[in-house]
């Protein structure tokens, strides 16, 4: 059974959204082959180029509104903790319109995965700057260049209490799959900032190529080390750009009990079993 719908795909040729879609597809195929139930996965998207992924993936999905993907995903996870909830968001979507929802989902350690398609531009509306656009970026709304410093989403998520924080890159496909799989299997709030190429309005391929490197998850349990790694690159400088799981900790999630008195144990048992089979 395919994971890709027959909907006409309108992403531009070369767009990094394809890489995220196919990495996610590979991860879901792998997890279903390992025993997780396809019908228990739910995909939520916001508004923006990324959001079309809800139309293009053949699975349970919810095409929500601008910036509210994390809120909708959190509601789904809370209503039925047996589900594995994945929220795809854009950088303008998650870090501007929806920033408060993202911060509170991290603070609550809601059991869900947020994947930010961080192309560092509003692509759907033809090239305006977002909170992660670099200083000096010239877009439709900033012809003289952005004069603000970008926010650093990894630092922000660490400070907000996220228990899984990672960064990946759309031109490192195998690494992207590994990171997304780890994020989906993490129990609690997982956050992945995916540096995504926007082929039309912000193609940073030549900028990223000499700077990205893989951390291999070293010191991922050390919060201070994670914060140092998060601050190594400020989304504007020429510093090296760490990719991988930079922080992971085990902390209680789902602070609210279910109405029926149950809990997320069923899904957790399923994940534990899969993890044990892999060891």
The residue ranges that bind ligand SF4 (CB under 6 A) are 11-12, 15, 17, 49, 119, 123, 198-201
Q: Shortest Cβ distance from residue 200 to ligand SF4 (Å)?
A: 4
Q: Shortest Cβ distance from residue 98 to ligand SF4 (Å)?
A: 18
Q: Shortest Cβ distance from residue 126 to ligand SF4 (Å)?
A: 8
Closer Cβ to ligand SF4, 11 or 164, answer by number = 11
Residue in the block written with tokens 């899904």: 267
Q: Shortest Cβ distance from residue 73 to ligand SF4 (Å)?
A: 21
Closer Cβ to ligand SF4, 14 or 240, answer by number = 14
CA geometry: angle 73, 164, 179, nearest 5 deg: 90
* CA–CA gap between residue 54 and residue 24 (Å, rounded): 12
Give CB contacts under 8 A, 24+ apart, made by 23-26.
23/173, 23/176, 23/177, 23/180, 24/53, 24/57, 24/86, 24/88, 24/115, 24/180, 25/57, 26/177
* CA–CA gap between residue 271 and residue 273 (Å, rounded): 5
Q: Shortest Cβ distance from residue 179 to ligand SF4 (Å)?
A: 20
Report in angstroms the alpha-carbon separations of 242 from 9, 135, 206, 249: 31, 20, 16, 19
Closer Cβ to ligand SF4, 129 or 164, answer by number = 129
Q: Is 14 left (phi over 0), alpha (psi -120 to 50) or beta?
A: left
* CA–CA gap between residue 130 and residue 151 (Å, rounded): 10
Closer Cβ to ligand SF4, 9 or 80, answer by number = 9
Closer Cβ to ligand SF4, 163 or 170, answer by number = 170
Q: Shortest Cβ distance from residue 201 to ligand SF4 (Å)?
A: 5
Return phi, psi of residue 127, to 5°: 105, 35
Closer Cβ to ligand SF4, 23 or 85, answer by number = 23
- Beta strands, E only, 119-215: 164-169, 189-195, 212-214
Q: Shortest Cβ distance from residue 90 to ligand SF4 (Å)?
A: 8
Closer Cβ to ligand SF4, 76 or 199, answer by number = 199
């Amino acid at each position: 059974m395919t994971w890709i719908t027959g909907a006409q795909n309108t992403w531009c040729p070369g767009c990094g959204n394809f890489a995220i879609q196919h990495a996610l597809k590979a991860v879901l195929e792998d997890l279903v082959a390992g025993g997780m139930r396809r019908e228990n996965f739910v995909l939520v998207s916001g508004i923006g180029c990324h959001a079309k992924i809800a139309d293009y993936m053949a699975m349970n999905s919810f095409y929500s509104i601008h910036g509210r993907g994390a809120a909708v995903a959190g509601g789904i996870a809370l209503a039925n903790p047996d589900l594995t909830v994945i929220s795809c968001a854009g950088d303008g979507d998650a870090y501007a319109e929806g920033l408060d929802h993202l911060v509170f989902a991290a603070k609550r350690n809601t059991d869900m995965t947020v994947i930010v398609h961080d192309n560092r531009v509003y692509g759907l509306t033809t090239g305006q700057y977002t909170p992660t656009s670099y200083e000096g970026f010239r877009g439709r709304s900033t012809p003289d260049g952005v004069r603000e410093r970008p926010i650093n989403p990894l630092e922000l998520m660490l400070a907000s209490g996220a228990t899984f924080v990672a960064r990946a890159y759309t031109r490192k496909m195998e690494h992207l799959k590994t990171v997304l799989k780890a994020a989906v299997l993490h129990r609690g709030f997982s956050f992945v900032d995916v540096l995504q190429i926007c082929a039309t309005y912000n193609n940073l391929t030549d900028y990223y190529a000499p700077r990205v490197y893989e951390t291999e998850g070293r010191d991922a349990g050390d919060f201070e080390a994670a914060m140092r790694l998060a601050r190594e690159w400020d989304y504007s400088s020429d510093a090296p750009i760490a990719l991988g799981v930079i922080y992971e900790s085990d902390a209680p999630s789902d602070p609210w009990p279910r109405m029926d008195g149950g809990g997320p144990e069923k899904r957790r048992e399923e994940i534990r079993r899969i993890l044990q089979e892999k060891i």
